[in-house]
Structure 1
Amino acid sequence: MNRVQLCWLRNDLRSHDNKALSRAREQGPVVAVWLVSEQTWREHLDAPMKIDFWLRNLASLQQRLQQRGIPLRILHCPRWQDAADCLLQLAGELQAAGLHFNAEYGIHEQQRDDACLIAFRQAGLQADSYHDQLLFPPGSLLTRSGSMFKVYSQFRKLAIATLHQRLPRCLAEPEPQPPLAISSDAIPQLPGLADASALQRQLWPAGEAAAQQRLQQFCEDSLHAYSEQRDRPDLDGTSRLSPYLASGVISVRQCLHAAMRCNQGELDSGNRGVQTWVNELLWREFYKHILVAYPHVSRHRAFRPETEAVAWRNDPKALEAWQQGRTGYPIIDAAMRQLLATGWMHNRLRMLSAMFLTKNLLIDWREGERWFMQHLIDGDLAANNGGWQWSASTGTDAAPYFRIFNPVTQAQKFDPNGDFIRHWLPELASRPTSLIHQPLPAADLFGASDYPPPLVELSASRQRALDAFKNLGETR
């Protein structure tokens, strides 16, 4: 009889289109494994509601695996540095033949995974890692000189050309296996570490079926109008699949194939909404490749080293006001309160709130990056870092330092009737549309006296940011 294979689950909480799970099952009966790493999760600032989402999806996946005869073992391994020892101990207990897992990207993730591969192979056991999280393994799309792209448009061009030549397929769910004499472990309760409100759990139901239903509904209702509606936070025009992608409840390949089915098999022609959404999937891809090719961004360093010299302001009161949605600029405050309540923020608003912090308040982008990771259900180091550095003009494909979004005109353009603002700022609900986007003093004329005055004046704060970046240029 074949010895069991361990499949180590991480951010790939699905049974369909899971390379490590499929490869392990091809080689024998499988035991799935999950590590509870409280200390590392805290160090990495993983949001409590994201950990809650992991555990809820793990419970859903456990039921699915049990239907196929696959038990799930859960190990308490507080730090990633101990992962190799924990997994080897389980392999010895079960007399397992090998370990299979899907690669994760980032310095600590890669160090952990390399240590596990080495430990298992030195013990005479099989150990295999698979590129599953992305359409292209990092380092497989390079410039003619053999370096990683620093500009998204060039990366996208090669990515699309490569997809035309070789479209990755989706793997079927693994075949059922005869029951093993191995019991599954209970999903742990982690109060204080894995917390979520009733609203958050309602907004983000767990499981592959919920993710697939959301994908199908998006394709049927919103995808074709995505290019026109994706910047409107007052409309339900985005997929809201990012938490499911970040936790691997759905794969990028499944998303890509679903989009192409809505576009007669086309990638970069046909419906503009589909093309735009494929671009967003490739942006996610790009930032993952950047994380691997330029590991200093994993250490929260600026992609463009010269911008480390920007004279950021230390203003704890202004930072707290931004964090709590009390800046006096309605669209910024509505966005930040959406984040606090739901664990998610519309992408246009992520750009606006990030640029307001880094340009109008001139506060270090790392403060915002940290706050987002502590609160986002879809918190992902690569995407979060890439987005913050874009807004702060310190990263790859960064906005030019002189591009500073005006939160009032942006709100007028993308929340024209003020519906989003009124939803998240009930104290402004009675304001007329002509004033809903404006900061005080107009607000106190319409029963919003408890709404704060603006932290900064836009033109003066804009000039302050321009001067800071101009001075940087003079010192180089």
Structure 2
Amino acid sequence: MSALVWLRSDLRTGWHSPLHYALENHQQVKLLFILTPGQWASYGLAKCKLDMLARRLQFLRGQFAEKGLPLHLLTVESNADIPDTLADFCLAQGIQDLYFNAEYELDERRRDRAVKARLQKNDINIGVFHDTCMVRPDQVLNQQGAPYKVFTPYFKVWLEQLQTQGIPPGKPSFPGKRIDAPADDEVLASFLLEERAEDWPVEDSVIDANTQDFMQIVSAYKEQRDFPAAEGTSRLSPYFSLGIVSPHQLYQVMLNRFGQKVHESGNGAFLWLRELAWRDFYRYVMFHFPHVCRFRCFNEKYDDFAWDDDKALLQAWQEGKTGYPIVDAAMRCLNQTGWMHNRLRMITASFLCKHLLLPWRWGEDYFMSQLIDGDFASNNGGWQWSASVGTDAAPYFRIFNPTIQSKKYDEKGRFIRRWLPELKSVPDKFIHEPSQWKEFAGTGYPKPVVDHRQAVTRTKERFSQFLEVEKQAS
């Protein structure tokens, strides 16, 4: 009987425990990916991300065919259709064993429970592996056996666990006998974009080369990571979001290059490893506190917080027309490329929630509709952090001053001028506050939609009053 490896958010040929196990223990192995256009539409996934997904699947079909493995594609409308469709496929293909990597979002956990129940009726065995996170969510608990709610103590245990556990196997042994690759499915072509504002290659050789390039500069990550005009970040998040690159793989690369220094604070490699831990942490939060997957705040008392609902301000923020150059440049970059630097994500999120007092869920949804690296756990966690309603969140009274952030991280306005061409002629002295320039009227750039000081005062008062009411009610 054949084994089937169900690919999900792990679209790679190596560092893949289900695939490795299947090849080691079965003579016949097949692969499957299930497309769910209706489900993706309900999540509001960005077109650029679906384009990248389709291109990666096209690439993988050829790669696996070269290695002697067929990659099948099935299309259903939503997760609810998967159990029956998967059972029918397994029976038709003579599949006795199904293997896949766990996913920790609430909808996906419900889907997998339904799949297990359905396949058990046909005596099909299921093997679940855990490559999605570097450390499994159920393996990091406090001394009372409860999950952590704050990142720092979580990270300490996470780091200890990471160093004691094994690393998933790298490259498996493939059959090696080439087969004909299936013809490109029309449904894949339907997701491809005619034009792409930015090239995100999906071929392993190019991604590996880019990864090695980042490893050459990761030592300077601490000093360079906050400057959007610099090439100081890995830009690997789109590949993590689809599982094209395994975080375990990058960890092994850093171990080979830096040895135990990667576990020691104060260097760029450690700081970047800590960012990978944040990725795990937000999945950990979803796993242990699934209410965050249901449009709820981690800190549930804030579910009743009274945000404003000014759609005109939302539109100004979305279109990059707030009158705050660093915010607007970041949003226009996002809209045109599907990408935004992490420092800018914090600035723009803070501005929406703390200057405009608009719901963080609006920002969360908009980011997912635009980001090529849209990742529910990280996006949700980041927005809740910015809005001061999540785990380990920034206190409500700590509010980014976008002008100070701009001066600090884009001092000469290099990033601003790239994305706001109407400000190219503005002198450096006024680039962060162009409305102060005597010739501002001729730029065509909007005046600030809110005054910084007034907005901050209003936000602090709104939060303070809310918490006082909460205190009196408890």
Task: Tell me which interval the TM-score lies in, with the shorter structure as reference length.
Answer: over 0.9
Q: 2:395 aligns to what?
A: 400
Partners in 2 of 1:66 and 1:169 — Cα distance? 23
Question: Aligned to 1:144, what secondary structure does the other structure show?
Answer: coil
Classify the secondary structure of the residue corresponding to 1:356.
helix
Equivalent position of 2:182 in the other structure: 184
Q: In the alignment, which residue of structure 1 is the partner of 2:157?
A: 158
* Aligned residue in 1 for 2:459: 465
Q: Percent identity?
A: 38
| SS of structure 2 residue aligned to 1:92 | helix
Contact 1:291 1:382 in 2 (8 A): yes
Shift in alpha-carbon separation, 1:412–1:448, aligned structure 2, 3 A = farther
SS in 2 for 1:89: helix
Matched, 1:278 2:262: no
Q: Does 1:60 align with 2:84?
A: no
2:263 and 2:82 map into 1 onto residues whose CA distance is: 42
- Which residue number in structure 1 is paired with residue 252 of structure 2? 257
Match runs of 1:152-301 below 5 Å: 152-176=151-175, 178=177, 184-189=182-187, 193-195=191-193, 197-200=195-198, 202=199, 204-220=200-216, 222-269=217-264, 272-301=267-296
Contact preservation (8 Å) 1:231, 1:414: yes
Q: Which residue of 2 aligns with 1:6?
A: 4
Q: Please name the residue that 2:74 is paired with.
A: 75
Q: Quick check: 1:89 aligned with 2:88?
A: yes
User: What does the per-residue CA deviation read over 1:443-462, in whole Å, with 9 as the maximum and x for residues that have no partner?
Assistant: x6157531111110000000
Partner amino acid, structure 2, of 1:15: T
Quote the offset at 1:44 in angstroms. Answer: 1.1
With 157-166 and 128-137 compared, the bigger mean Cα shift is at 157-166
| Structure 1 residues 78 and 150, CA gap change in structure 2 (3 angstroms) | same
Structure 2 contact 430–436 (Cα < 8 Å) conserved: no
Specify the SS of the correspondent of 2:368. Answer: helix
How far is the alpha carbon of 1:135 from its aligned partner?
Answer: 1.2
Q: Is the 8 A contact 1:24 1:100 kept in 2?
A: yes
2:23–2:172: 8 Å Cα contact kept in structure 1?
Answer: no
Q: Post-superposition shift, 1:268?
A: 2.4
Counterparts of 1:265 and 1:215, CA distance in 2: 20
User: Under a length normalisation based on structure 1, what TM-score does the superposition of the two structures give?
Assistant: 0.95
The separation in 2 between residues aligned to 1:27 and 1:117, in whole angstroms, is: 21
Q: In 2, Cα distance between the equivalents of 1:352 and 1:311?
A: 22
In structure 2, C-alpha distance between the alignment counterparts of 1:253 and 1:402, rounded to whole Å: 37
Counterpart amino acid of residue 104 in structure 2: Y
**Structure 1 residue 74, shift from structure 2 partner:** 0.8
Q: Deviations over 1:57-104 (max 9, x none)?
A: 111111110111101111111111111111111112211112111111
How big is each residue's C-alpha offset from its partner over 1:381-434, in whole Å with a ceiling of 9 and x where there is no partner?
A: 110001001100000010000000000000000011110000010110111111
Unaligned runs of 5+ in 2: none
Contact 1:160 1:267 in 2 (8 A): no
Deviation at 1:173, TM superposition (A): 2.9
Match of 1:317 in 2: 312
Q: The residue matched to 1:62 in structure 2 has which SS?
A: helix
Contact 2:423 2:443 in 1 (8 A): no
Q: Residue 434 of structure 2 contacts residue 440 of structure 2 at CA under 8 Å; is this kept in 1?
A: no
Q: Is the 8 A contact 1:151 1:397 kept in 2?
A: yes
Cα deviations across residues 278-307 of structure 1 (Å, max 9, x unaligned)?
A: 110000011110011000101121000111
C-alpha distance after superposition, 1:25-72 (max 9, x if no partner): 223211111111110000011111111111111111111101111011
In 2, Cα distance between equivalents of 1:448 and 1:371? 31
1:405/1:448 Cα in 2 relative to 1: closer, same or farther (>3 Å)? farther
The Cα shift of 1:187 comes to 3.6
Corresponding position: 1:336 with 2:331: yes
Q: How big is the shift at 1:189?
A: 4.2
TM-score (norm 2): 0.95
Counterpart of 1:112 in structure 2 is 111
Greater CA drift, 399-408 or 253-262 = 253-262
The one-letter code of the counterpart of 1:472 is F
What residue number does 2:428 align with? 433
**Which residue is equivalent to 2:135?**
136
Give how far 1:210 is off. Answer: 2.5
Q: Is the 8 A contact 1:48 1:192 kept in 2?
A: no
Q: Note if contact 1:260-1:274 (Cα within 8 Å) is conserved in structure 2.
A: no
Q: CA deviation at 1:196?
A: 6.5
For structure 1, the residue ranges without an aligned partner over 5 or more in a row are none
Q: In the TM superposition, what are the counterparts of 1:366-445 in structure 2 within 5 Å?
A: 366-442=361-437, 445=439
Aligned residues: 469
Aligned residue for 1:97, secondary structure, equals strand
Partner Cα separation in structure 2 for residue 287 and residue 293 of structure 1: 10
Runs ≥4 residues deviating over 4 A:
177-180, 189-194
User: In the TM superposition, what are the counterparts of 1:449-464 in structure 2 within 5 Å?
Assistant: 449-464=443-458
Equivalent-residue separation in structure 2 for 1:193 and 1:15 (angstroms): 22
The offset of 1:174, in angstroms, is 3.6
CA distance in 1, matches of 2:181, 2:161: 44
- Per mean C-alpha deviation after superposition, the further-off stretch among 17-26 and 240-249 is 17-26
CA distance in structure 1 between the partners assigned to 2:186 and 2:50 by the alignment: 11
2:49 equivalent to 1:50: yes
Question: Aligned-pair distance for 1:164?
Answer: 2.7
Partner-residue secondary structure (3-state), 1:265: helix
Distance 2:194 2:149 in 1: 37
TM superposition shift of 1:179: 6.2
Query: 2:133 corresponds to which letter in structure 1?
Result: L
Distance in 2 (CA, whole Å) between partners of 1:270 and 1:38 is: 43
Query: 3-state DSSP class of the match of 1:264?
Result: helix
Compute the RMSD of aligned alpha carbons: 1.7
Q: In the alignment, residue 111 of structure 2 is paired with which amino acid?
A: R
Aligned mates of 2:207, 2:302 — CA distance in 1: 39
For the residue of structure 2 that corresponds to 1:267, the secondary structure is helix
Equivalent positions of 1:22-37 (< 5 A) are 22-28=20-26, 29-37=28-36
SS in 1 for 2:450: coil
Distance 1:167 1:262 in 2: 18
Distance 1:352 1:183, change over 3 A: closer
